[in-house]
Chains A and B, each alone.
Chain A
């Protein structure tokens, strides 16, 4: 048995939510871009992979509904994790993902560290960029989901609102989708995979754990808190097996490759489509 050199960071259910999000997001990005770029050869080939222009729409709608169901389950999960007896104080604890004033402070300290002006902030369990990623998805899914449902079922939608509101829903859906894709494919992938500290890959979301020495270096407040509470030892876990790591790498880099392919294809072909 390998020594326990890693600290548990995500529960199996949280990793399952991330896996679900990865697969559905990449499917939505691919089918959505295939339809958006259908006037170009790149878009036609991409749509052809999924069975054509109309099939892309069907997949996009049903996977979108599936995503909304997943989001509803996640909201139930979040509500079940809140310590209601200590509410609302529990919302502002160190394990909470809610944005707090210390995150703003850490953001500016971090910028200062980038520029070599200050010492780097000592992060707790969640960094401000991770909280931002979480809330970006949390707000993005309902925005994309609601506008997507309105556009997918326009006859029903126009019974509860004027038809011209579909013009507006279309642009909200399009810009929010572009924002989400660019953020994930550029910023999230860079931070999780390509920055020197994480390169070649941050396995935390797949293995569920991070190297304890790395965590001590990047998140000293979190480790100190666990040590102080005496719960560090119980949070330690073993290194995942070599086969497991190989699967994480192949799967993770397939996702990165898909994202980069969509990003470059979209940027190159953006000027050839009717906006």
Chain B
């Protein structure tokens, strides 16, 4: 009788220890299951975690049709092996999958973004606005630079009282003279060129005019003398 009791106690103890161990294990997740749709996988899991190659099953297609409303439409290179997605505007870690990322500096890839007034005049560093690693894409839902909260989380650190309208100022302004700006910031492009035409037009008329005037009067003076 005593032996039966001790056997039961041993079984209950082992079961209890096993149950306690279960509490310490990670929770069950659908990510560990076979996922039929690569698009669902991409949207639900991979896009936010950045881990592509730890799934038990690879996606069915290596180049799935992924649409991001308002950003990009159509097929673009994506494969779990390369872990490369060109459109990086909605990622939790915008630099995910970039090889040797730890050894790179921001300006190696983002040179144009280091030539604006915030960088050259106010001497701001990238991380003062974009935050520490992992740096989220500016349109990711939880990014501090998402337009829904940028004014409160980033701009107002220096510009106290910044509103959402204020935060729509384009910090990394495209070069207003370039053709590409006609698409990315058309009003800036057209206003810039209007002002340039006005200035150049004024000098095209008045510089030769003034020079000719000076020469003519010089000749007249020489003739009189």
Main secondary structure of the interface of B (DSSP, over half): helix
Asked if residues A187 and B165 are in contact (CB atoms below 8 Å), the reply is no
CB < 8 Å neighbour of B214 from A129, A166, A195 = A195
Q: Out of A155, A168, A183, A194, name the residue touching B188 (CB < 8 Å).
A: A168
Give per-residue flags for B180-210: 1 if the beta carbon is below 8 A from chain A beta carbons, else 0.
0000010110011001101100110011011
Residue of A39, A163, A171, A190 near B120 (CB, 8 A) is A39
What is the bound-complex CA distance between A110 and B217, given in angstroms? 12
B176: CB under 8 A from chain A? Answer: yes
Which residues of B are found within 8 Å of A195, using beta-carbon distances? 210, 213-214, 217
Residues of B within 8 A of A216 (CB): none
User: What string of 1s and 0s marks CB contacts (under 8 Å) between A131-173 and chain B?
Assistant: 0100010000000000000000011001101111011100110
- The residues of B that contact A171 with a CB separation of less than 8 Å are 176, 188, 191-192, 195
Q: How far apart sit A38 and B120, CA to CA, in the bound complex (Å)?
A: 10
Q: Does B168 contact A (CB under 8 A)?
A: yes
Shortest B162–chain A CB gap in Å is: 7
Report whether B216 and A114 are in contact in the complex, using a CB–CB cutoff of 8 Å.
Answer: yes
Distance of A179 Cα from B206 Cα, bound (Å): 12
User: Are A167 and B213 neighbours in the complex by a CB distance under 8 Å?
Assistant: no
| Complex contact B169–A186 (CB within 8 A) | no
Given the interface pairs A154-B169, A176-B195, A196-B220, the reply to whether A191 lies near B210 with Cβ below 8 Å is yes
Interface size on B, residues (CB 8 A): 41
Q: Is A38 a contact partner of B121 (Cβ separation < 8 A)?
A: yes
- Total contacting residues, chain A, CB less than 8 A: 39
Residues of A within 8 A of B217 (CB): 195-197
Could you say which residues of chain A place their CB within 8 Å of the CB of B188? 167-168, 171
Least Cβ distance of A139 to chain B in Å?
A: 10
With A113-B216, A155-B163 in contact, is A172–B169 under 8 Å at CB? Answer: no
- Asked if B92 is at the interface (CB within 8 A of a chain A CB), the reply is no
B62 at the interface (CB under 8 A from A): no
Q: Does A175 contact B (CB under 8 A)?
A: yes
A128 to B112, CA, bound (A): 45
- Residues of A contacting B120 in the complex (Cβ-Cβ under 8 angstroms): 39, 274
- B110 to chain A minimum Cβ distance, whole angstroms, is 15
For A111, A113, A154, A187, the residue with the greatest tally of chain B CB atoms inside 10 Å of its CB is: A187
> A residues near B, CB below 8 A?
38-39, 110-111, 113-116, 129, 132, 136, 154-155, 158-159, 161-164, 166-168, 171-172, 175-176, 178-179, 182-183, 186-187, 190-191, 194-197, 274
Show 6 A/B contacts (Cβ-Cβ < 8 Å), sorted by A.
Answer: A39-B120, A114-B209, A155-B161, A158-B166, A163-B167, A196-B218
